[in-house]
Amino acid sequence: MTETAITRACVIGWPITQSRSPLIHGYWLKSYGINGRYTKEAIAADEVEAFLSMLDARGFVGCNVTVPHKIAAYQVAFLKDASATAVGAANTLWLENGQLACANTDTYGFMTNLAATAPAWSAYDGPVMVLGAGGSARAVVYGLLQAGRRDVRVYNRSLDRAEGLARQFGAGVSAHAWAARNAHARDAALIVNTTTLGMNGIGDPAIDFAVARSHCVAADLVYVPLETAFLRDAKDHGLQVVGGLGMLLHQAVPGFARWFGVTPDVTDDLYRLIARDIEGA
Ligand SMILES: NC(=O)c1ccc[n+]([C@@H]2O[C@H](COP(=O)([O-])OP(=O)(O)OC[C@H]3O[C@@H](n4cnc5c(N)ncnc54)[C@H](OP(=O)(O)O)[C@@H]3O)[C@@H](O)[C@H]2O)c1
């Protein structure tokens, strides 16, 4: 009897203990009965290039990359998908004919989760507000432009960063001062928090949802806690809300499909598993 080799993938970061990716991929490996393993690898900044260049030799078919290595991974990769190029950072890598390829699946994760949780969001015209101008804001802005939105307004504490983002994407994206966010909230069809405000219960983008239109959707990328003050406040004002955990689960799908050959489902059961882990942390 021949033994099939184990297919191995991993997530690299520094530190890496906090990553929930092994729980997500481990759940899918078990659900689909795949002979695979997904591990956490603590890789320091000065080891990233060497590690990625030797992925194959180390027995990995690919990996996820988390903070603080997403930009380094993008730079090391030879082939880069459109989202990785738009964001300038990568979170998913694999080998294509022996060459290191990368993608940024945050765009896919955000847009897929948005469509699954608030399918009516796209039916309404009106500006989309993106709070924050970091790496995840780029992934979100790129997805919104791909979805055909032509009035994406980026609000950031450091205005120059919002201006840089708007310049990069060009027509359809504008930069605004952080202080202007509440003056514009009344027109918005969608308000997305991509800042770190609300993470671990610290801070809040402080949006005045009382002025928002009834069909406005509020989406948060923060998923610890599962319900941030931003989401709770939007919900209290009768708005539809989209949490960050769904995005985390959906962004994992393309990597799993590439490495293990099965496109996995984001099920309620998986959501509950990771939600329990977050709540118990
Ligand atoms: N759900 C998911 O799958 C998913 C995926 C990716 C990221 N995320 C989450 O998204 C968040 C942002 O990630 P990122 O990679 O984009 O981070 P980042 O590149 O470090 O950007 C952080 C952003 O937060 C803003 N910010 C920080 N403190 C602030 C404050 N006190 N007041 C106003 N703005 C503040 C920063 O503004 P300045 O430019 O002025 O500093 C910047 O725009 C994190 O919480 C991350 O966990 C979730």
pLDDT at 129 (0 to 100): 98
Ligand 1 centroid–CA 36 distance in Å is: 33
Contact residues for 77 (Cβ-Cβ < 8 A; gap 6+): 52, 84, 90, 93, 100, 101, 102
Token code pair at residue 86: 């738009």
Q: What is the mean pLDDT of residues 193-207?
A: 98
Domains 7-104+252-280 and 107-244 are alike in CATH topology: yes
Q: Residue 119's pLDDT band (boundaries 50, 70, 90)?
A: very high
Q: Where are the domains of the chain?
A: 7-104+252-280, 107-244
Residue with the smallest CA separation from ligand 1 atom 11 is 196
Residue 261, pLDDT above cutoff 90:
yes
Q: Tell me: pLDDT of 241 over 80.
A: yes
Q: With bands split at pLDDT 50, 70 and 90, how would you rate the model's confidence at 125?
A: confident
**Beta bridge pairs of residue 12:** 41, 65
For residue range 158-169, what is the model confidence (pLDDT) as tens digits?
Answer: 999 999 999 999
Mean pLDDT score across all residues of the chain: 96
- Protein residue closest via CA to atom 48 of ligand 1: 221
For 30, residues 6+ apart whose C-beta sits below 8 A from its C-beta are none
At the topology level, CATH places domain 107-244 in: Rossmann fold (3.40.50)
Of 18, 67, 136, the residue with max ligand 1 atoms within 8 A of its CB, to mutate for a pocket test, comes to: 136
| φ, ψ at 166 (rounded to 5°) | -65, -40
> What kind of fold does domain 7-104+252-280 have according to CATH?
Rossmann fold (3.40.50)
CA distance linking residue 163 with residue 54, whole number of Å: 38
pTM of the full structure: 0.97
pLDDT for the residue 153: 98
pLDDT tens digit string along 62-93?
999 999 999 999 999 999 999 999 999 999 99
